[in-house]
Amino acid sequence: MREELLREIEIELEAIRRENEQTEQRRKEEISNLFPEIAALTRERENLVFGTLRDILRGGAKAEDLPEKMKQLNQQIRTKLEEKGYPADYLAPVYRCPICKDTGVIGETIKETCECVKKRYQAMLRRDLGLTGSEQQTFERFRDDVFSDEKAPGSNFSVREHMLLVKSNCEQWANQYPKCEKRDLLLYGPSGLGKTFLLHAMASRLIERNIPVLLVSAYDFLQTTRNEYFGGGNITDDLMNVQVLMIDDLGSEPMVQSVTVEQLFRVINGRQNKNLATVISTNLSLEEFKKRYTERIASRMTDIRNCKMLPLIGKDIRRCIQLTAKEADA
Ligand SMILES: [Zn+2]
């Protein structure tokens, strides 16, 4: 887990705990102002706890009666609150997460991270990768009805069947990684067929499975590596060492000849040597890919022993949708 995100979560939990205390205090004051008889019961409960503690410390322990008395008092308070039209637990401690009581950890001797922290962490990763919002792209939201039922060029399948096949390959890979058949993926084909969507969906699934993933556009990839190239530094640790690196829309970035190719080679080669996965999407055909990035890179991303190649076939669905919308208007 990334340190800076864990710190952010710890700060959030602290704020939540403070807010809980304020809520408890506010409710206590409200009830004691409105209903003195309930306030009397809560005071009795406090005195019971502190009185028993005092007795124990003085050696005259009689703690065995405490649980039963507490139970009775709690019940009285709950009943009274309900009579007044409040929830029975209105004066109980307030927690957003009842499992860890907003501490973020569970377990007495062996401390474990609570599910709520894992959820927060995943949400932050999604936020950092730009995977949030109502347009969240996940496999569950994949729509095959936007694809045509016409036969895909040069294939026995329709475009829709073909896309469903590609989607199921991507989903299976994201479900199984690192225990998948092929470590790397190359999604290639014309633009507007949902390659970015599939990359986002895979990243979302990997995050759900707690697998570190970094998704960058080819443009950002080039900027980062170029700055380092001219600055004389090393390629960022993240690009080199994250378990899964996804580069979206390779081929769309401006070509700075020796830099682009050299840095891309270093990253892909370095990652393959460490057996870390790289997923690339590109609008280029395999021929164009080879031409632009040289045989050296192409051979690494098209090596069928390690890389699954997923060709996307069909027309730009964004254009199809626009056309259909225009037809409907007409
Ligand atoms: Zn929790």
pLDDT tens-place string over residues 62-91: 667 788 888 999 999 999 999 999 999 999
Between 38 and 304, the more confident residue is: 38
Q: What is the pLDDT of residue 184?
A: 96
Over residues 290-310, mean pLDDT: 90
CA distance 38 to 221: 63
- CA–centroid distance, residue 316 to ligand 1 (Å): 45
User: What residues does 252 pair with on adjacent strands?
Assistant: none
- CA–centroid distance, residue 117 to ligand 1 (Å): 6
What pTM value is reported for the model?
0.68
- CA–centroid distance, residue 163 to ligand 1 (Å): 39
Q: By the 8 A CB rule, do 137 and 204 touch?
A: yes
- CA–centroid distance, residue 210 to ligand 1 (Å): 17
- CA–centroid distance, residue 6 to ligand 1 (Å): 14
The rounded percent of the chain whose pLDDT value lies above 90 is 45
pLDDT digits (tens, 9 = 90+) for 13-61: 999 999 999 999 999 999 999 999 999 999 998 888 888 778 777 776 6
Domain residue ranges in the chain: 7-94, 98-128, 133-321
Q: What is the pLDDT of residue 239?
A: 85
pLDDT digits (tens, 9 = 90+) for 204-238: 999 889 898 888 888 888 887 777 766 665 656 77
Q: What is the pLDDT of residue 325?
A: 46
Between 271 and 224, the more confident residue is: 271
List Cα–Cα distances, 293 to 73, 77, 265, 289, in angstroms.
Answer: 76, 74, 9, 6
Between 270 and 51, the more confident residue is: 270
pLDDT digits (tens, 9 = 90+) for 159-205: 889 899 999 999 999 999 999 999 999 999 988 888 999 999 999 99
- CA–centroid distance, residue 1 to ligand 1 (Å): 17
Over residues 130-143, mean pLDDT: 77
- CA–centroid distance, residue 101 to ligand 1 (Å): 6
Q: Is the pLDDT of residue 330 over 50?
A: no
CA distance 62 to 55: 7
Q: What is the pLDDT of residue 129?
A: 74
Q: By the 8 A CB rule, do 282 and 186 touch?
A: yes
Weakest mean pLDDT among 136-140, 145-149, 307-311, 316-320: 316-320
**CATH annotation of 133-321:** 3.40.50.300
- CA–centroid distance, residue 221 to ligand 1 (Å): 36
- CA–centroid distance, residue 105 to ligand 1 (Å): 7
- CA–centroid distance, residue 20 to ligand 1 (Å): 14
Over residues 139-150, mean pLDDT: 87
The rounded percent of the chain whose pLDDT value lies above 70 is 89
Q: What is the pLDDT of residue 283?
A: 92
- CA–centroid distance, residue 106 to ligand 1 (Å): 8
- CA–centroid distance, residue 107 to ligand 1 (Å): 11
